[in-house]
Amino acid sequence: MSQSSRKKLLLMGRSGSGKSSMRSIIFSNYSAFDTRRLGATVDVELSHLRFLGNMSLTLWDCGGQDVFMENYFTNQKDHIFKMVQVLIHVFDVESKSINKDIEIFVKSLTNLQKYSPDAKIFVLLHKMDLVQIDKRQELFTIMMDKLQKISNPYHFKLIGFPTSIWDESLYKAWSQIVCSLIPNINLFNSNIIKFNSILDAEEIILFEKTTFLVISSTASIKQQQQQQQKKVSNGKADKEETEELDPKRFEKISNIIKTYKQSISKLRTNFNNLIIRGSNGTTFYLDILTENMFIMVVLKKKEEMLNGASVEQNEESLVLDNIKAARKWFEKIENSK
Amino acid sequence: MEAAIVPHPKDTNATILLMGLRRSGKSSICKVVFHNMQPLDTLYLESTSKPTNEQFSSLIDLSVMELPGQLNYFEPNYDSERLFSSVGALVYVIDSQDEYLNALTNLSMIIDFAYRVNPKINIEVLIHKVDGLSEDYRMDAQQDIMQRTGDELLDLGLEGVSVSFYLTSIFDHSVYEAFSRIVQRLIPELPSLEHMLDNLVQHSSIDKVFLFDVNSKIYVATDSSPVDIQTYEVCAEFIDITIDLDDLYIENDQSNNKNGVRGAGESKELRSVSHLSSGSTLYLKQMIRGLALVALIRNEGFNDTAADSEKSLTIIEYNVDLFKQALMKMWTPK
């Protein structure tokens, strides 16, 4: 058990495609602007990250210059490609030599099939900000079709994301990558659904503490359930209520809170909680849930409760108490592994 | 003909005139401070060809007029006299990374002219683009520029004119700080505002309090304790974070009537509280006229229980409400 909780992630791609920049932003609190200072990665840079307490990720950031690349596929191949849980392959959308890029991708697929056939493959089309907005989706579809076709002979299913360090797409991609590694995600999901019904909240989101990647949210669980129901009963397609809200909001929240964390680090401190009473009756509670998680609860004010400020004050402490009470449940799940 | 393109400033007190040689960074300052443009994007701004005039309604109705750098103000058919007589502050931007002797000559000519037309004018000099200078050199540059300006004014027989200097850059918060000071000089009610804030600080265990203009992150007033630039930055960013999060959950159909007049009428005021692990608390509350009060509250004593902090917060809440009522009293439309 303890062995499998150690995950090996390979981060690969041609030189200059932005691999180290991603790593620095997600795991080392760099801002997108700071990544200009990063130099070329020499050979493989290992970083050990603790995620959700007892899950430890080893990220192998593989330098992408041809000299090193050759080495990975020849001398070091059993060292590099053994026991891999996840391969994250980064493509630079501006790259001039796509054939060369794909050739390397194929080489790593070949090796992966041989040494760790159960690995999950994620493809990131990076630097999307350099493509015109209206052409992004088209380019992404074309590229993904092509890559899926190439990888079919190797029996790998690809999951792809368009990413850029200048917006929240990077958080979306990494949040899904990391979530695919959490073993007891279903327990978390069922517990926040329960918690949500107690609080009657608009939405609850769970974040990992250091990276602020989204682990789980009530909206995404509901979506999954609906899709499953549709498959089973093919029933009435009632319109999802949350569709009115910004579909990118999770990534945006990750981004905003990370900015906030960086901002108050100037006062040499960190934050414990954040309560925002919004301008149209929405209240946000961001609080520590466990040692490794933050929770965000969004409450919508119901019509009949709009009277009196004294009620609001009480409600705030009520919700905070509820979160405190929920803590022990989530801590139990976290330590259960 | 020429004079026709200069718009009429309506309010004589609260017009800021932004001047400087070409490429000194005037439009960039304007865009960054008042339009929330990213500093890097200002690289692609075109050269300004016409005087532009922008209105901002905050605590005071502010208008910023930007003049093209290559304009000759002393052409006989250009009505500079009327222009200078109607502004409250003249902001002159000097590019510190460039050769600035030319700019200094230009500056003293402008001061000479403006001061004779309107002796009440506030003259502010931004020593701009200091982000490219090393720490020691900034001080030297400022010394040098102050010295030379002083000499030039002495030669012109204007030793009574007071000129304020600021080191600014659009890549950090110094330009906001400078503009805050500049705007504050134009608010006639400032002393009473500061007095009110001091009162609030004394009775509420607050470390530092700012009254911010939400759109521009300029603070129109603060209490009398010295401004620590880091506290200012954190407070300014706290506004951004609060507003960004709040905006995410405003549904599309409501967003139309929400824009612009936030907090007006029926909708509730924005309020946000964040407890920090150092024991302090960041507190934000929306005030009138697009203003927000942001305070850093220190922890009182060692018995740091949740109930205690809740109690002190309630007191602060009450005091802030009183402050808001006072604000409303001062700025009711007559």
Q: Are B273 and A275 in contact (CB under 8 A)?
A: yes
Using the structure block, give the residue that is written with the tokens 């602020």: A212
**Residue B230 contacts A where some CB pair is shorter than 8 Å:** yes
Q: How far is CA B21 from CA A118, B48, B116, B178, B215, in A?
A: 65, 11, 21, 19, 28
Kindly list the residues of chain A whose beta carbon comes within 8 Å of any beta carbon in chain B: 202, 244-246, 249, 252-253, 256-257, 259-260, 263-264, 266-282, 284, 298, 313, 317, 320
Tokens of A249: 């909001």
Q: How far is CA B44 from CA B26, B72, B297, in A?
A: 13, 25, 41
| Chain B residues with beta carbon closer than 8 angstroms to that of A313 | 314
The pLDDT assigned to B11 comes to: 47
Question: How many angstroms separate the CA of residue A84 from the nearest CA in chain B?
Answer: 38
Q: Which of B151, B155, B209, B222 is nearest to B183 (CA)?
A: B222
Tokens of A211: 């990276």
Q: Is the pTM of this model over 0.80?
A: no
Q: How many CB pairs under 8 A join A and B?
A: 107
Question: How many angstroms separate the CA of residue A242 from the nearest CA in chain B?
Answer: 10
**Residue B229 contacts A where some CB pair is shorter than 8 Å:** no
Q: Are B92 and B107 in contact (CB under 8 A)?
A: yes
Alpha-carbon distance A211 to B67, whole Å?
46
| Chain B residues with beta carbon closer than 8 angstroms to that of A294 | none
**Residue B231 contacts A where some CB pair is shorter than 8 Å:** yes
Q: Is A135 exposed, middle or buried (0-12, 13-18, 19+ CB in 10 A)?
A: exposed
Most B CBs within 10 Å: which of A165, A262, A274, A298, as the mutation test of the B interface? A274
Report pLDDT digits (tens) over B241-288. Answer: 888 888 887 754 444 444 444 433 345 678 888 888 888 889 998 887
The kind and range of the H/E element at A45 are strand A44-51
Most A CBs within 10 Å: which of B248, B280, B282, as the mutation test of the A interface? B248
Q: For residue A324, is it left (φ>0), alpha (ψ between -120 and 50) or beta?
A: alpha
Contacts of B311 (CB under 8 A, 6+ apart): none
DSSP A75-130: TTHHHHHTT-SEEEEEEETT-S-HHHHHHHHHHHHHHHHHH-TT-EEEEEEE-GGG
CB contact under 8 A, B276 and A202: no
What average pLDDT does the structure give for chain B? 77
Contacts of A250 (CB under 8 A, 6+ apart): A171, A172, A175, A205, A214, A217, A220
Chain A CA closest to residue B40: A33
CB contact under 8 A, B248 and A245: yes
Strand partners, B301: none
What is the complex's ipTM, to 2 decimals?
0.74
Strand partners, B124: B91, B164
**Residue B267 contacts A where some CB pair is shorter than 8 Å:** yes
| Chain B residues with beta carbon closer than 8 angstroms to that of A276 | 242, 245-246, 270-273
Q: Are A13 and A91 in contact (CB under 8 A)?
A: yes
- Per-residue pLDDT of chain A (337 residues), as tens digits, is 344 567 888 888 888 888 888 888 888 877 777 788 888 888 888 888 877 767 788 888 888 888 888 888 888 888 888 888 888 999 888 888 888 888 888 888 888 888 888 888 899 998 888 888 888 888 889 888 888 888 888 878 888 899 988 888 888 888 888 888 887 788 888 888 888 888 888 888 888 887 888 888 887 777 777 767 666 655 444 444 445 677 778 888 888 888 888 888 888 888 888 888 877 777 888 888 888 888 888 887 654 455 554 455 567 778 888 888 888 888 887 776 5
CB contact under 8 A, A270 and B276: yes
Angle at CA of residue B122, ends B117 and B128, nearest 5°: 120
